[in-house]
Amino acid sequence: MFLLVKSRQIYKNSKEDGTPLHEALPEYLNGAVLIPDDTFVLVGYSTSEERFRWYEDNNRYIFRMDEETGSLELHSEVVNAKYLLLRRSGQPYARDLYEIKSRGPKVFSSQYLNQL
C-alpha cells in the first residue's frame, strides 16, 4: 500500500514539459523499497581500528548520550533509521554501511558497556 501511495504521488499531476514523472521512482535494495526521503541513515565515527573491530564483532555501535555537543538525541528519524554509515579514523570518507536489524536503539549504562 505504501508503494502504491508513493507511486500515485509521483504521477499525480501533469507537468508543463510533458514528462510524466515528477520525481524518481523508488529504488530497491536487497528486495526492499528504498525511498530516499523516507530512509534514515545514522552516521558514526570509529576512533580507532580496535574500536571498529569491536563494533563488527559485537554488532553494536555506541552513540554518546549526554549533554555534550554531538550527542545522540532520540527522535523519530533516529529511532526509525534503517542504516548505519561509519567513518573510520584516518579515512577521508565514511564507507562502511550496515543495515540496522534491531527494532530501535537500546540504552546501556557505561558500567554495562565497560563489561563487554
Give the pLDDT score at 5.
46
- CB 81 within 8 Å of CB 39: no
Give the pLDDT score at 18.
61
Dihedral, CA of residue 58, residue 85, residue 31 and residue 1, to nearest 10: 110
**Contact partners, residue 6, CB within 8 Å, separation at least 6:** 26, 35
- CB 50 within 8 Å of CB 10: no
Q: What is the mean pLDDT of the chain?
A: 74
Give the pLDDT score at 102.
81
Tracing cell 554488532 back to the chain, one arrives at: 59
Tracing cell 537500546 back to the chain, one arrives at: 106
